[in-house]
Amino acid sequence: MSPVIYAKTAKGRNEVAQRCLGLNSRQRTVLIMLDGRKPCAALTGLLPAQQLDTIVGELLAMELIGPCSSPSAVPPPQPHVPSPELVRVKTEMVKTAEACLGLMAAEVVRRIEQAGDRHELLGVIGHWHMALQASKHGRDSALEHVERVRASLAVHTTESAARRMEDTRASAPA
């Protein structure tokens, strides 16, 4: 085992956060432990050296890690802190979903809570709005809720979009 120091690439940091590549538990553990500060050999207490070499080779091939020139070359990842406005809007959406959808709110709430930024939340608004429209308790106020949320996120709907939503609401079965 060489004294090489490895650090996660942007793709590796994304994999740690999103779990989208289907790494097995040992690959994931090694990926997390390679922080750009300690040599790879420091992980031999975790796994046998031969197995560690194999996993490091796999992570290198997937471009999830790369050699680091010095321990200070890779800055620690900065945690994503959502803006207070985004937190407020998400809280409003969750409360509305829970009040109008009851037990059926779980999936909508999960999507809202997983949205990490304004763009992702905009992608959830349509699903949230349609769920409100389809519910017995949210049907009458769905348009009002979505307009308030979009205004809070500085997304202005055009009159035609608002009319389309109103038409959809009016044509929904009672």
Name the token pair of 32.
């997390």
The neighbour count for residue 55, using CB atoms within 10 Å, is: 23
Q: What confidence tier does 158 reach under pLDDT thresholds 50, 70, 90?
A: very low
**The residue to which tokens 């620690």 are assigned:** 76
Give pLDDT tens digits for 12-69: 999 888 888 999 988 988 898 888 888 888 888 778 889 989 999 999 999 999 998 6
| H or E element that contains 8 | strand 5-8
Q: What confidence tier does 159 reach under pLDDT thresholds 50, 70, 90?
A: very low
Question: Which is nearest to 82 in space by CA: 111, 123, 113?
Answer: 113
How high is the pLDDT of residue 103?
84
The neighbour count for residue 135, using CB atoms within 10 Å, is: 19
- Give the number of residues written for the chain: 174
Q: What confidence tier does 168 reach under pLDDT thresholds 50, 70, 90?
A: low
The predicted model scores a pTM of: 0.46
Burial class (CB in 10 A: 0-12, 13-18, 19+), 155: middle
